[in-house]
C-alpha cells in the first residue's frame, strides 16, 4: 500500500474536519468544557498511587460504560473500553495511565483555584490524560453517526506507569497473547500541553542500595560502622564524579529519590537504603552509570569498614526497575497523521525523547507515540502540582482527528 504524501494527508484532515458528524464531535469538546472539567476533578479526588489503582479504575470503567463503551478490566487491572463493540482485526489504542506518584489524603486536597487552575496531586500527570479519554468517548457518543460506526479504537486506562510500577500495565498489554498483538498504533496521553510528540523512548534503570550493619548506641558503641555515613559517602562520590565522566555526548541524568535509615538521633543505624533513577538517551551510557554506581557503593563500604573498630557493613545493590529504549520508524503513519493534523489546527509541535508508557511498544518495534492532552500544567510529582484547562479543546480535537485519520489507514489494512 502506497503511503499518502504530506499534502494528501492535510487534504484528508480538512475533508474529515468538514464532515458533519466529525464537526459535531469536534464542537462538542468546546461546548462540554464544564462537564470535562468536572470529570477531571472528580477522578483526581480518587487516590491512585502505583499498585493501588483499583478504585480509580472502577470509577473510569463506570464512566466509560455510561458513554456507550463496552468495558472490561484485565487481570493486570487495566481498564479496556471499546467505542461500540469489540472489533476483529487491527485496532488503534488510545491510552492514559491511572496511577500517580503522590495521592491525595482526602478529596479536599484536590481543589479549584480562583484563577481556574486545578490544584493537587496528579491533576496534571495524569489527570489530564484520563480526562481526555473520557472526553474522546463523550464526543463520539454524543454524535450519533460516529457512535454507530463501530470504530476500531480501544480506550485504555492502564496501571503501573509511575515509579516502581515499571510500566507493568503496558507490559501486560503488549504480551504476545495480549491485546497489544492486535494494536496497529498506540497513542499515549501523558500530562498536559500539545507541543510535543514523543517518538523516542528514553531508557532508564532504577536501583535500591541497601547497607546493613550491627548498629548500636551512639556513645557506648562508637566505632561500629555506620550505614548512613557510608550511604552519604557513596552518593557524594557518585554525584561528584559523574559530571566529568559524562561530559558531552547523549543527554544523561541521575536522581537519588529516597533515602532512609536509623531509628533515633542517639542510635547508630542498623541499616540505610536509597533509591536511584538513572536515565540516558544512550544504552551504553546507562551501563556506564551502573558501573559507576557499583563502584561508589564498593568504595564507600570499604572506607567505612576500614574506619570501624568493630563489626562490618554489608551492601546490596538491587535493580527495581528497567525501562527499555526504542525509536519510532520515521515512516510510521502516526507521525504523518499527527503532522497533518497539527498543520490543520495550527499547532506547533516538536519531536522529543522521554520515558512514558510508549517505551514498551517502541522497544518491541511497534508503532507508538506519546503526546499531551492539552491545557497547561506544572509541578508534576510534587505537592504543588497544578493544571489549567485553558485551550484543552484544541488538543482534544487533535487527538480525535488523528485517530480518525489513522482509522482510514487501519481500515484499508483490514480490508
Position 244 scores a pLDDT of 64
Rounded Cα gap, residues 88 and 150, in angstroms = 11
1 domain residue, yes or no: no
pTM score, two decimals?
A: 0.92
Position 409 scores a pLDDT of 81
262 domain residue, yes or no: yes
Torsion of CA 317, 319, 320, 324, to 10 degrees: 160
pLDDT band at 249; cut points 50, 70, 90: confident
**Do 360 and 291 share a domain, yes or no?**
no
**Do 332 and 267 share a domain, yes or no?**
no
Position 145 scores a pLDDT of 84
Question: Number of structural domains, the chain?
Answer: 2
CATH number at residue 300: 3.30.70.360
Q: Which of 323, 353, 372 is the last residue of a domain?
A: 323
**Do 84 and 14 share a domain, yes or no?**
yes
Each residue of 291-325: pLDDT tens digit?
Answer: 999 999 999 999 999 999 999 999 999 999 999 99
By the 8 A CB rule, do 169 and 97 touch?
A: yes
Each residue of 179-196: pLDDT tens digit?
Answer: 888 999 999 999 999 999
**Do 139 and 55 share a domain, yes or no?**
yes
The chain-wide mean pLDDT, for the chain, equals: 94
Of residues 113 and 146, more confidently modeled: 113
pLDDT band at 178; cut points 50, 70, 90: confident
**Do 192 and 74 share a domain, yes or no?**
yes
Q: 380 is in which domain, residue-wise? A: 6-202+325-414
Position 147 scores a pLDDT of 76
**Do 224 and 172 share a domain, yes or no?**
no
Q: Which of 323, 346, 375 is the last residue of a domain?
A: 323
pLDDT band at 328; cut points 50, 70, 90: very high
What mean pLDDT do residues 61-87 have? 93
Amino acid at each position: 500500500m502506497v503511503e499518502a504524501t504530506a499534502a494528501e494527508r492535510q487534504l484528508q484532515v480538512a475533508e474529515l474536519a468538514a464532515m458533519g458528524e466529525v464537526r459535531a464531535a469536534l464542537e462538542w469538546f468546546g461546548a462540554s468544557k464544564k462537564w470535562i472539567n468536572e470529570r477531571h476533578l472528580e477522578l483526581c479526588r480518587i487516590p491512585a498511587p502505583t499498585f493501588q489503582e483499583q478504585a480509580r479504575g472502577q470509577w473510569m470503567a463506570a464512566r466509560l460504560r455510561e458513554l456507550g463503551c463496552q468495558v472490561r478490566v484485565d487481570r493486570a487491572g487495566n481498564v479496556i473500553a471499546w467505542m461500540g463493540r469489540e472489533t476483529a482485526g487491527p485496532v488503534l489504542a488510545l491510552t492514559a495511565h491511572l496511577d500517580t506518584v503522590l495521592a491525595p489524603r482526602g478529596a479536599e486536597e484536590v481543589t479549584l483555584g480562583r484563577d481556574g487552575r486545578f490544584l493537587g496531586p496528579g491533576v496534571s500527570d495524569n489527570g489530564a490524560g484520563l480526562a481526555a479519554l473520557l472526553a474522546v468517548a463523550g464526543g463520539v457518543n454524543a454524535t450519533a453517526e460516529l457512535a454507530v460506526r463501530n470504530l476500531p479504537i480501544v480506550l485504555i486506562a492502564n496501571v503501573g506507569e509511575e515509579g516502581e510500577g515499571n510500566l507493568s500495565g503496558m507490559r501486560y498489554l503488549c504480551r504476545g497473547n495480549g491485546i497489544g498483538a492486535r494494536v496497529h498504533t498506540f497513542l499515549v496521553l501523558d500530562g498536559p500541553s500539545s507541543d510535543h510528540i514523543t517518538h523516542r523512548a528514553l531508557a532508564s534503570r532504577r536501583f535500591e542500595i541497601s547497607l546493613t550493619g550491627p548498629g548500636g548506641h551512639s556513645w557506648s558503641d562508637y566505632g561500629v560502622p555506620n550505614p548512613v555515613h557510608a550511604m552519604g559517602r557513596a552518593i557524594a562520590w557518585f554525584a561528584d564524579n559523574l559530571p566529568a565522566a559524562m561530559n558531552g555526548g547523549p543527554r544523561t541524568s541521575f536522581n537519588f529519590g529516597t533515602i532512609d535509615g536509623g531509628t533515633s538521633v542517639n542510635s547508630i543505624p542498623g541499616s540505610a537504603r536509597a533509591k536511584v533513577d538513572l536515565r540516558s538517551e544512550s544504552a551504553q551510557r546507562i551501563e556506564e552509570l551502573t558501573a559507576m554506581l557499583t563502584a561508589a557503593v564498593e568504595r564507600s563500604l570499604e572506607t567505612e569498614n576500614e574506619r570501624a573498630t568493630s563489626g562490618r557493613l554489608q551492601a546490596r545493590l538491587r535493580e527495581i526497575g528497567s525501562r527499555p529504549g526504542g525509536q519510532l520508524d520515521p515512516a510510521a503513519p502516526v507521525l504523518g497523521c499527527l503532522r497533518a493534523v497539527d498543520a490543520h489546527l495550527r499547532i506547533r509541535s516538536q519531536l522529543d525523547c522521554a520515558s512514558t508508557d510508549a517505551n514498551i511498544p517502541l522497544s518491541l518495534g511497534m508503532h507508538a507515540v506519546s503526546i499531551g492532552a492539552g491545557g497547561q500544567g506544572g509541578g508534576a510529582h510534587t505537592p504543588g502540582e497544578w493544571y489549567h484547562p485553558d485551550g484543552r479543546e484544541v488538543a482534544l480535537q487533535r487527538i480525535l482527528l488523528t485517530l480518525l485519520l489513522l482509522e482510514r489507514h487501519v481500515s484499508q489494512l483490514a480490508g
